[in-house]
Amino acid sequence: MTYNLFEMSSYFITITFINLFTLLMLSICILLNTVINKIQKKDFLITIIVIFTICIMEVLTIIVDASPKKFIWLNILSNYMGFSLTPIVFLCLGNAVFPNRRFRWLFFANLIYMLWLLITQILRTEYSVFFIDSLNKYSRAKCFSVYIIFYILSLIYFFIENIRLSIRFWHTNSIILLINFIFVITGTTIQVIYPDIQVTWLCVVISITIYYIYHDTLYQQLDSQTYLMNQNSFQKWLENQNKPAVLVIAEIDNFSKLKLNYSRKTLDEIIVRISQNFNNHFKKYGRCYRIETEEFCAVIYNTSLNFDELNKNFFINFIKENINSEEMPLITLGYSQISPHEDLNHVLSNADIKKRLFLKERINYLR
């Protein structure tokens, strides 16, 4: 089917309008956001710019397709930009949501794909993703599957990142990520099968908006330094607690002296390392929080566990993992059961008693 400027269907004009203005409003929200850091803002905005460019290019391809021959170069350029940038979208979004350098090779692979696509257009060969004939008419070329492969790879990467994010922080929201991912796959599949139904980028724009809201909400609940749940999240848990649990409290020894003896950078590295050790050990049993600068807490609902043994095992593993680190301080652990609406100060006082007992016993753990 051939389109020109006057024959473009009203639904496509509406979809393009929705896409561009949604991206504009989303950009403003990101720029005004005080929760996510500057690097994440930059990556979110890069993603939006890429999608914005693709949407404009998609409109141009429809406008200039089968137009006078003098616009062949514009038809080739707009299609090239659209097909070359599309696989990058979910790589950029994945980088914004959850930076992961292990998958940076995908960016380099996509650059090779873009270079190959450029060469095939310069040589005017049909062994490309798309082909513009002498009448300035677009058609899929013999290697259109290469574009599909790169797009699927970027989607797989993004799917893996979302699964990892869900597992790391909380499991109950993984269904949101899965449904959103299926939504994007469905929109893409529809347009691949029926090219005249231009819904891919509407689905992608809606999906990115949902991801932004989801992760903005997530990061408001996290401690920005350790990525454990923050103090506000802990207070919310206390307010909504509906059954007995046990609080395991881990405190960094002599933290005030550490602040005097180490630089801010070294101290931050120590805190992050300890938080990772704490989370790796206790996330199997409950949710982990950072409740003070030098204190971490695990909320565990299985009150029948042997918490003395649990804390002992953590301390032994902590020593083994950090035995070669001269800067790493020791950790003191305590625990106490907490009932719904029980006074927190009373619970922490009971945990302090356990900490003192732990201090007496831990010298035996070092042998």
pLDDT, tens digit (0-9, with 9 covering 90-100), for 176-208: 777 888 888 888 788 778 777 778 888 889 988
Q: Which residue has the tokens 């790589």?
A: 91
Phi and psi at residue 104, to the nearest 5°:
-65, -20
Q: Where are the alpha helices (DSSP H) in the chain?
A: 10-32, 38-64, 72-85, 88-97, 105-122, 144-169, 174-193, 200-220, 231-240, 255-261, 264-282, 307-321, 344-365
Helix (H, G, I), strand (E, B) or coil at 263: coil
- CA distances, 222 to each of 162, 231, 288 (Å): 17, 9, 10
DSSP category for residue 147: H
Contact 69, 134 (CB under 8 A): yes
Q: Which pLDDT band, with edges at 50, 70 and 90, does 4 fall under?
A: very low
pLDDT digits (tens, 9 = 90+) for 288-342: 999 998 999 999 999 999 999 999 999 999 998 888 877 789 999 999 999 998 9
Alpha-carbon span 126 to 124, nearest angstrom: 7
Q: How far is CA 91 from CA 30, 123, 180, in A?
A: 18, 29, 16
* pLDDT for 314: 94
Give me the architecture of the 10-220 domain, per CATH: Up-down Bundle (1.20)
CB 189 within 8 A of CB 200: no
Domain ranges of the chain: 10-220, 231-365
Architecture of domain 231-365 in CATH? 2-Layer Sandwich (3.30)
pLDDT at 170: 57
Neighbours of 313 (CB within 10 A): 13
Percentage of the chain with pLDDT > 90? 35
The whole-angstrom separation of Cα 287 and Cα 236 is 13
pLDDT at 49 over 80: yes
